[in-house]
Structure 1
């Protein structure tokens, strides 16, 4: 097999390819979150200003269906990449389709067929893009490399730099100058991401992600014929699926940020700061801003603990994420009480909620992406990354349905139900985490590093502990 041209990284650094994937994901997330910040506001917006004038319940149901499909299609995109396309071509194809989708949404007028066509292009494009760029991050590291969790946290910072830009650029243009300018700027961002990826992929990634796994196995004469999954591999896949169930609880609550919490902030939160009214879409930048501030701390913390063999298990980290998310919703209970009594809630309630939601996200989301690359058998790496995103699909669809209950139950009762459900899920996951760790058969254990760590020739093979 041809040798990778990806640059070697020192033991305490990271391969340069990580920062290319960081940048590409940053532009893609700028596109996605820019559109997400505008979507429900656009659907409920007044028709004389270019919106559809739909009810909150209908808008949230469509929002949930769209975001659910966004996370469902990666299982198909992952399968096609593993079998036929390769990860690198899939990322490029997905980026182009998403750019086209944003430009379709930006077309003048509020024609429903164009609206649904644009959403469809975004859904399909994301299916090709999302699982494969995440799997390529894992492909830069050998099994047991203690930098892997930290690398995914750095990669996750890229996601949230893009999300921050989305609110600052797309949200402002959409709210202040017209929806078409917001969607159009999101398309420009995605186009920049594709251009950057094509310009530097060969130099910085070497052979990582170039060939489908099926082709790689045929080219590697030293590899044994494909066999059925071993007992250890089956156990590891089961761990992925079990953790995916708990991830549904997390994202169904967390994704209220783009739906219910977005609408709640718009209508019932006092957004005046020193005489300036903060645009609603700018609040979508609070979470990514906290990610950028806390992400480097978490990345160094996980890497440092890994070097000392004191890193908490993956299930334990994810349980902590659920508990922190639950605590964040306690502040939304305070906001709801204040808005009921005074008409408007203080902005700091929402900011405090986002802070703890962000801390929980950093314990769960990048760790989950890293976990899939550790546990998934190599020949099914992108496919299982797609399956992992199915949990996000279910959660996002549920998020829309759950948010729609606010009109019947009231915000306080709904926020209380979310607080209790996520707390219970976190406690249960923490209780079973030792059992899940044993079923990983050492796949999450780190190894001592040499002073230099060369980049692998392609994605690492999953080793049986």
Structure 2
């Protein structure tokens, strides 16, 4: 779970520098509710298709992958539309209303596909415009800016954590339309918070002119080549990454013992483990990196990303081994092993996705920074689309074999990132 944060014209605030401006809380809560709606719908999506609409697992996997890809494709067009015509504020309002409409449309079976298209269109207007306001709350030299990004990212994961617990429970226990409806209500709450807190947000205005630093042609070509190579590796990684909401969700529903005493945990609750561990692991990981950098200097981003991909591969291979043992003894897998899987899986995510986004921003040629960030969304689009294709193999493989295959895909991403890192290290 990650999002881009584009720089905007800084706006100094009168808040004491010990704390943060009120606008950050407005953006935090708006983003939290938007992610609540998005991940609330996604937690139910595969189960709704296979149980209510009676799609085959393979068809559900392809549809899930196509939708997950689409929400990363539409922000490219949405960013252009908002920059040239709508403006930031109107794009967020219109995008929020369109997304809320899409979630409410999900309550009708005949509107299932139009609803997904509607949500993806609204997301295209919303996603590029909200996070760009974080930087504008602070002056250029304000030391609070870095921690503000961390707090904003926590808002994303808080919404993702709450969504399966609320929307998933309502959908599984009381009916699908209740879960989808709750997602729509969450989107409306986010919009209401954004509108109510508008006075604390940065004002829109013309972009400040900036100098464009000339980049030698050879260096520019090398940067573009690195970005393409990194993007391809991220595409491969996302093929494995997105299986947690797809094939893994199917396996959890049918093959994992979720009984705790006399109570059965809803299958959708498993989707909350990833954002929960983001909360738990991020502060520890950041502290570890800071201590390492104080002693030995900054680590190479591509090295960290390669580690993340290999750790992801390890998590899937470990899950394959666990599934193999349980299948041999004809027993369900303990939810404790699934929890352990998500610890490693989340650690891998924190090593690769946020680091990769920052690397794209730092390598971007000055004149093509927005285009370069759009390329990050294109990598997510392609990876999510291919994750649906990979998911169709679930129907033809046993769970242990499929998880081993997924681990192999993540390992290929690690090898690609390691090779690109070795090449980058040789650059003068």
> Shorter-chain TM-score: which interval?
0.7 to 0.9
* Counterpart residue number, 1:397: 385
CA contact (8 A) 1:146 1:303 kept: no
Q: Which among 349, 361, 364 is matched to residue 349 of structure 2?
A: 361
Task: Select which of 269, 294, 299 maps to 1:312.
Answer: 299
Within the alignment, does 1:325 sit opposite 2:316 as a pair?
Answer: no
Q: Does the Cα contact within 8 Å between 1:78 and 1:382 map onto a contact in 2?
A: no
Q: Are the counterparts in 2 of residues 72 and 389 from structure 1 also a CA contact under 8 Å?
A: yes
Aligned-partner Cα distance in 1 for 2:418–2:151: 25
Q: Are residues 1:4 and 2:11 paired?
A: yes
Shift of 1:435: 4.1
Alignment deviations for residues 188-241 of structure 1 (CA, whole Å, 9 cap, x no partner):
1111112222232441x424xx34xxx425xx4xx45x7987645665454443
Structure 1 length-normalised TM: 0.80
Aligned partners of 2:147 and 2:184: how far apart in 1? 30
Which ranges of structure 2 fall in alignment gaps of 5 or more residues?
1-7
Distance between the aligned counterparts of 2:169 and 2:102, measured in 1? 20
Instruction: Work out which structure has the larger RCO, using CA pairs closer than 8 Å and 6 or more positions apart in sequence.
Output: 1
Residue-by-residue CA offset, 1:261-288 (whole Å, 9 max, x unaligned): 0000000111112232111001111111
* 1:129 correspondence with 2:126: yes
Equivalent position SS for 1:38 = helix
Deviation at 1:353, TM superposition (A): 1.2
Matches within 5 A, 1:236-385: 236-302=223-289, 310-341=297-328, 342-376=330-364, 380-385=368-373
User: How far apart are the structure 1 equivalents of 2:130 and 2:25?
Assistant: 12
Counterpart position of 1:197: 194
Distance 1:241-1:309 versus aligned 2 partners, 3 A rule: farther
Q: For residues 13 and 303 of structure 1, do their structure 2 counterparts lie closer, same or farther at Cα, with a shift above 3 Å needed?
A: farther
TM-score by length of 2: 0.87
SS of 2:53's partner is: coil
Looking at structure 2, the residues matched to 235 and 145 of structure 1 have their Cα atoms a distance apart, in angstroms, of 33
Deviations 1:40-74 (A, max 9, x none): 100111xxxxx211111111111111111111112
Instruction: Kindly state the Cα deviation for residue 323 of structure 1 after the two structures are TM-superposed.
Output: 1.5
The answer to whether the aligner puts 1:206 opposite 2:174 as a matched pair is no
Distance change (3 Å), C-alpha of 1:133 and 1:250: farther
Distance across 1 between alignment mates of 2:356 and 2:141:
16
Q: Distance in 2 between matches of 1:56 and 1:122?
A: 23
The equivalent of 1:427 in structure 2 is 415
| Secondary structure class of the residue paired with 2:197 | helix
Cα separation, 2, equivalents of 1:201 and 1:274:
47
Question: Aligned match of 1:30 in 13, 26, 36?
Answer: 36
Give me the whole-angstrom Cα distance separating, in 2, the residues matched to 1:34 and 1:258.
11
C-alpha displacement of 1:132: 3.1
Give yes or no for the alignment of 1:412 onto 2:419.
no
